[in-house]
Structure 1
């Protein structure tokens, strides 16, 4: 059942976000031969715009966007669309060296501030259910930094056709553990591409060194401080040409 809400996007919650947009997009070739992955159009909107819309709906006031591949094209596009958003769009330049997901966040920490912030992948998005609270708002409301280092939006594997391997197992309390090679079960979930985190988990991390968020996921799992909140929306991943075709076909059915 849809969760009814009178959500106020100006209410308490993170006002800062990191949008991970520096990837090479190799599985989206030939589209990405001359185009950065975040600018791949999906049913009339770029992936970047779809991510920014989700953040704007949650009341985010400043979004940091990291850039690497075709950085000049992406930077020009961000400058062009910035006036259309009621948030500040700031670029974090990784042109010289691609830093991976966690490395990009660590480089941008001075821009992100000392309070919890959202992290969003540029190649996943979801369609919010009409009349329901935005999922990022739900995430902010559920986040408890006393016992959680990161709270991830997750998707039951049964809601993602064709998925044969889970990222995590999520128990009834929301605690996440690595799925490993375990067969799919009702607890099996995917990381849906959005999270909220405490910036302190990146304290003392080496700057300008490529590193994945998986390192921090595993550390939080070991300390029982990684949690998940199940997404309440239609989820889409656009990491390959096959996924792009599937997503566009699904969105056309919604029109």
Structure 2
């Protein structure tokens, strides 16, 4: 997709969003034994507050946050937030994974496309605010979802093989087995409620719906500006903090 700047006044930006904050954070142990991953601090600020800050700057008015693991701590924390307004989606009775969690929250998200972010979605901005750029790339006629992608080999704290190939129009395809894909999903996206038509009940991954959209030619991506910081392990916290310090120098 084109990387030419788009005037912000032309962007129809989502006013609703969901932050996925219910996960157990197994790879972050022992830190998550007593602190839920969304409340882990990087450079003095909890990860979930960094996500909420990004959404506030992007013009989001209402954010749904799902809770399961150490739910009381997460709920108490986010309810202190004044802007954007936070609504809690309670998954204490059973973890629904990413797809099931969003499906449960759909009645709270309205009938228009909305942002979805992982609670640990964290990046250093480049020249353009990435959530605005994501919204600028949205085309409701062609898309059911658009994902913010980071370069696989240039992301901090990430050592995996990547997730997606992207064609010149921005359409996505899954990584071919035993290869390195050029892009990794950064944990931020815009999804249409259409994507969830016919979704299964209960617990399931958003990847199931991404694959359905790929098959229909309706999953797109944009390459993010700046640097994606993958805070998936205790060791990655220090890497992220060093990157933040370097970017502020």
Provide TM-score, normalisation by structure 2. Answer: 0.92
- How many residues of Structure 1 are paired with residues of Structure 2 in the alignment? 245
CA contact (8 A) 1:11 1:59 kept: no
Change (3 A) 1:121 1:54: same
The aligned counterpart of 1:172 is 168
What SS is found at the alignment partner of 2:176?
Answer: coil
> Which of the numbers 73, 78, 90 marks the counterpart of 1:93?
90
Please point out which of 192, 203, 208 is paired with 1:198.
Answer: 192
The alignment partner of 1:19 has SS state of strand
SS for the counterpart of 1:18 is strand
Structure 1 stretches of 5 or more lacking a match? none
| Cα distance in 2 between the residues matched to 1:4 and 1:170 | 20
1:246 paired with 2:243, answer: no
- Alignment counterpart, residue 151 of structure 1, candidates 140, 146, 152: 146
Q: Secondary structure at the match of 2:229?
A: strand
Other structure's SS at 1:111 match: helix
Provide the C-alpha distance between the structure 1 equivalents of 2:240 and 2:4, rounded to a whole number of angstroms: 25
Shift in alpha-carbon separation, 1:93–1:221, aligned structure 2, 3 A:
same
Q: Distance in 1 between matches of 2:6 and 2:206?
A: 32
> In the TM superposition, what is the alpha-carbon distance from 1:6 to its structure 2 partner?
6.7
Q: In structure 2, which of residues 112, 115, 121 is the aligned counterpart of residue 118 of structure 1?
A: 115
The whole-number CA distance in structure 2 between the counterparts of 1:6 and 1:215 is: 34
More moved, 158-167 vs 49-58: 158-167
Q: Following TM superposition, by how much is the alpha carbon of 1:158 offset from its aligned partner in structure 2, in angstroms? A: 2.5
How far off is 1:210 after superposition?
0.4
Q: With structure 1 as the length reference, what TM-score do the two structures score?
A: 0.90
State the partner residue of 1:37.
Answer: 37
User: Displacement of 1:120 after TM fit?
Assistant: 0.4
Provide the C-alpha distance between the structure 2 equivalents of 1:133 and 1:12, rounded to a whole number of angstroms: 16
In structure 1, the residue corresponding to 2:159 is in which secondary structure?
A: coil
The CA RMSD over aligned residues, in Å, is 2.0
Equivalent-residue separation in structure 1 for 2:164 and 2:11 (angstroms) = 31
Deviation, 1:184, is 2.6
Q: CA deviation at 1:178?
A: 0.5
